[in-house]
Chains A and B, each alone.
Chain A
Amino acid sequence: EIVMTQSPAILSVSPGERATLSCRASQSVSSNLAWYQQKPGQAPRLLMYAASTRATGIPARFSGSGSGTEFTLTISSLQSEDFAVYYCQQYNNWPLYTFGQGTKLEI
């Protein structure tokens, strides 16, 4: 099983600042890495796939990078609606999927 580890567990950032979230895989997942955003009481929303490709409708302030085992999600200038929990997911070991434990982005 590929284990996904996210850090930090909680990230406190002020609106307008940059946020950097990390995700590490226990073995290479190539670029088969997705990021999701989840707000309380809502379903997760796909933000990024193929490590760096924004999903439909995702603002340009969201960017992803990395390959292999180290990945980063960057939000360039935080808006109030960006405060949520973010999950990474590997799909390189398809069809066996695994998620990270999440990073809570708080004000």
Chain B
Amino acid sequence: QVHLQESGPGLVKPSETLSLTCSVSGYSISSGYYWGWIRQAPGKGLEWIGSIFHSGSTSYNPSLESRVTISLDTSKNQFSLKLSSVTAADTAVYSCAAYSGSYRPFDYWGQGTLVIVSS
């Protein structure tokens, strides 16, 4: 069973970079699977941010691509999200998730962490 847990600051100032980490247990991220980030603004639906594959290649939501970086840290069995130049519109619950192969939905989700963008 794959278990995911998000961590990172709950408050980020406007124009700064949001940084979150997803710690994975029960599976080695370098062995396979695909890893992603999804967010949910207050009162809104789910928005896919991007994914990274066990090979390290990435894919991003075109609406966020210019500001997003997702990377792997295989030594710590973690992957991370960086979102630059944040505004209040980036306030959301950020969740990490995993899926087992191409053309698959997300099988596993973390609990999510609330990030507020405010000065």
Contacts and interface: CB of A to CB of B under 8 A. Distances in A.
Q: Do A and B come from one complex?
A: yes
Interface of A: 1, 32, 34, 36, 42-46, 49, 55, 87, 89, 91-92, 94-102
Contacts of A94: 102-103
CB-CB nearest 5 A-B residue pairs: A34-B105, A43-B109, A95-B59, A101-B45, A99-B46
Prevailing SS type, chain A contact patch: loop
Nearest to B34: A95
B106 A46 contact: yes
Nearest to B110: A43
Interface residues of B, number: 24
B46 A95 contact: no
A96 B109 contact: no
A87 B105 contact: no
A106 to B, nearest CB: 15
B105 A43 contact: no
Given A89-B105, A94-B103, A95-B102, 17 more contacts: A34-B105, A43-B95, A43-B109, A43-B110, A44-B95, A44-B109, A46-B105, A46-B106, A49-B105, A91-B103, A92-B103, A95-B34, A95-B53, A96-B48, A96-B59, A97-B48, A99-B38
B83 to A, nearest CB: 17
Nearest to B58: A95
Contacts of B44: 101
B99 to A, nearest CB: 8
Nearest to B104: A91
Nearest to B62: A1
Interface string B76-108: 000000000000000000010000001111110
The winner among A55, A92, A96, A97 for most chain B CB atoms within 10 A is A97
A5 to B, nearest CB: 11
